[in-house]
Amino acid sequence: MIISCPACATRYVVPDSAIGPDGRTVRCAKCRHSWFQDGPTLETAPEPSPANRDKAPTAPAPEAQREEPRPRFVTPKPPTTEAGPQERPQPAAAPRPAPAPERPVPPPPVEPAYSGADDGYASSRFDSAPPFRGRRNVLKLWTWAAAIFAMLAAGTVIAASYWGLPDWVPVSRSSFALGPSDLQLDFPAEQQERRQLPNGTEFFGASGTITNTGSETRNVPPILIQLRDEQNRIVYSWEVIPPKNTLAPGETISVNEAVTDIPRRARYAEIGWKPS
């Protein structure tokens, strides 16, 4: 029998035994719509009415036939002559049988619709094919990955320059070196000035002295000034070259240094000898 999906009008050819006389619930393999399919109707011959049954003609009784005697066949003997027996004629060649007619090629079978059984179903040739999935472009994926990594790296550099590196980052930080014990740095906190100029830029100035308390002449190394924020993170640092390279015993020199455009987060300064 042929059934048709009421939702998408897809037709299927199924055997009558798959539906049964009582019908059953089936599902379309294309749109997955389920419906109850009635069983096939069996055509029965109409019973004759009682009036027609009485008028039905009866077949005449066959007459007895006399059995005819079967003729007896006698194989004739070939005629003989003085010269000898004649040659027996060769039987005629049997006619070749006619070639059998070519059978028509049957149409391809139509897969039955899904009937709701647990054993699954076979997809119909009228079912829609899945979309084609293109191949991945590996070069394009690597390009996107490189662009994302560059953006993250640039953001990290900008954040570190603005807020500074956190304390848990395992990198070497600037620290002060141990200078000669005879050279003493004296930069009082009250002589450190931080203010904003009229043009909006930040200004920082520091004043102090370097004294040689020893009995020998000493070379004066460079000075390192570091500005820190409220979380004690270094936000700005610069090197200061002393006005004299050497100091005699008991000699003192003054150091006055100022910078502008410092970060707004800077709160205080630390001053020491620059590491070599």
Of the candidates 109, 108, 112, 110, which has an alpha carbon nearest to the alpha carbon of residue 27? 112
CB-CB contact of 225 with 271 (8 Å): yes
User: What single string gives the DSSP state of each residue in 71-87?
Assistant: PP--PPPPPEETTEEPP
User: Would you say 239 and 257 are in contact if contact means Cβ atoms under 8 Å apart?
Assistant: no
Alpha helices, H only, the chain: 16-19, 50-54, 138-163
238 closest CA partner among 255, 253, 218, 254: 255
Neighbours of 234 (CB within 10 A): 16
Q: Tell me if 146 sits within 8 A of 140, measured CB to CB.
A: no
The count of other CB atoms within 10 Å of the CB of residue 88 is: 7
Nearest of 177, 167, 194 to residue 271 by alpha carbon = 177
Model pTM score: 0.37
From first to last of its 276 residues, the chain has per-residue pLDDT tens of: 788 898 898 888 888 877 778 888 888 888 888 888 887 776 555 555 555 555 544 544 444 444 455 555 555 555 554 444 555 656 666 667 777 667 777 776 655 554 444 444 445 555 555 555 556 788 888 999 999 999 999 988 888 767 766 666 655 555 788 888 889 999 988 888 888 888 888 888 889 999 999 899 999 999 999 988 888 888 998 899 999 889 999 999 999 988 888 888 888 888 999 887
Q: Is 148 helix (H, G, I), strand (E, B) or coil?
A: helix
